[in-house]
Copies of this chain bind each other. A is one copy, B any other.
Amino acid sequence: MTDANRIPDWIAVDWGTSRLRAWAMSASGEVLDTASSDDGMGRLTSDAFEPALRALTGSWLPAGGLASVPVIACGMVGARQGWVEAAYGRVPCPPLGPDLTRAPGTMDVRIIAGLSQASPPDVMRGEETQIAGLIALRPGWDGVVCLPGTHSKWAEISAGEVVSFRSFMTGELYAALAEHSVLRHSLTAEETEVAAFDAAVSETLSRPERLAGGLFGIRAAGLLDGLEPRAARGRLSGLLIGAELAAAKPYWLGREVALIGAGPLAALYARALTAQGVPAEAFDATDTTLAGLTAAWKDQQ
């Protein structure tokens, strides 16, 4: 944002299912400009990726020199249904592999691979770049990382490698229930009541089998006891996050946790972990993504 007229030395791209974000970067790691669009991977066919990227970043590029500025991209752009498949690295391994995958076309686009785990089977795409960014921001960092989101991830990091990880459908369950179940009638507020959240976390964390009954109980409590929409939202979040924490206990018990993510959702995770006596330090999701993309670009020099 400091010098939008300067030709960037490289371009950083975070290309998820629903959003495309790009940063014009200098060789020394300065952000010269930034841009974003709704051209997420989820709405693009394989031949639509380059036009979408040109539409967003074309004004940064020298005339006739599309191929002269390298682009480093992470996220679902490297999925099988994306621009080109960037085959998963398999844990245990460093979050960034030695090779990036070149996308077809006239631009110089290099895609970071996701990570997979053999047993239990699991995958990530995009989070590996955030983990690499965390390690870049805190050289030598070891510990447990939690990345709340649509598919929340917990990962164990040791000696610069991702040792193991697990994904949970927490965010997607929340969205599917809030939008496509009988609970939509109960969630007419935007706010989340933290007292209801705390109680619900405690319930499913200690008794995770109570999830499916507790979910219907939100509707019943609305009908019978006039449960407020704010409390219903807190209860839905709490039941789901509590059940996730019950499953992720081997990751966080007796440890410190780095939470990658900003905003209300990460704050709820921090609150729930703190209640269990687990210190949680928050890292901004954009900062870690950009630090990870920068680390991948440096590896290419």
Residues of chain A at the chain B interface (Cβ within 8 Å): 80, 88, 116-118, 120-123, 151, 166-170, 172-173, 175-177, 179-182, 208-213, 215-217, 219-221, 223-225, 240, 243-244, 246-247, 249
Contact = CB atoms under 8 A, between A and B. Distances in A.
Contact of A247 (B212, B225, B244): B212
B243 A212 contact: yes
Contacts of A120: 213, 217, 220
A249 B219 CA distance: 22
A151 B182 contact: yes
A120 to B, nearest CB: 6
- List the number of copies, as a whole number: 2
Contacts of A176: 173, 176-177, 180-181
A121 B221 contact: yes
7 contacts: A121-B223, A122-B217, A151-B182, A169-B181, A173-B177, A175-B180, A210-B247
Most chain B CB neighbours (cut-off 10 Å) among A120, A172, A246:
A172
Contacts of A217: 120-122, 167
B151 A213 contact: no
B121 A225 contact: yes
